[in-house]
Every structure is written in C-alpha cells, then in structure tokens.
Amino acid sequence: MSKSSAAGHSKFGTTYLGDIESNSMNMGFSVTNTMSNNILGMPLSGADVCGSNGNSGAELCARWYTIAAF
C-alpha cells in the first residue's frame, strides 16, 4: 500500500489517497479520485472512510460507508 505510485505499481500493490479531512466536500473528492485511479489502470485504490483529520459525525460517517460500499 502506497500513497504514490510508479509504472507497474497496480500489478503488485494498492494506492491509498492519503489523509483527508472529515467533511462532505472531501467525501466527494474521494469518490472522484478513486474513479480517476480506476480509469488510469489502478483498480485497487481507496480513501479513509470517515476521513482521518477532523471530527466526523455519525450521519457523515454513515453516508461515507454507503458510498464506500460501491
């Protein structure tokens, strides 16, 4: 698992989007960044569900888990 990647990285590892703020704007960014990585040939990529910086409420975390399931 790595925050960065190089040629051939997706064959043997995963890409992690990094530490992100716990808010709805960054929840949307995590979806688009994950989809962009998939289009670029990195099928195993993802973000911190519920964020890692800040204080995520129960409603935001529940929405984030719902999005992350897909």
pLDDT tens per residue, range 54-64: 788 899 899 98
pLDDT tens per residue, range 6-54: 677 667 777 888 788 888 888 888 889 888 888 888 888 888 888 888 7
Q: 6: how many CB neighbours lie within 10 A of its CB?
A: 8
Which pTM does this prediction carry? 0.74
Crossing angle of helices 58-68 and 24-39, rounded to 10°:
10
DSSP 1-69: -BSS--TTHHHH--EE----BSSHHHHHHHHHHHHHHHHTT--SEE--TT-SBS---HHHHHHHHHHHT
Q: What percent of the chain is modeled with pLDDT above 70?
A: 87
What pLDDT is attached to residue 15? 80
Domain boundaries, the chain: 9-68
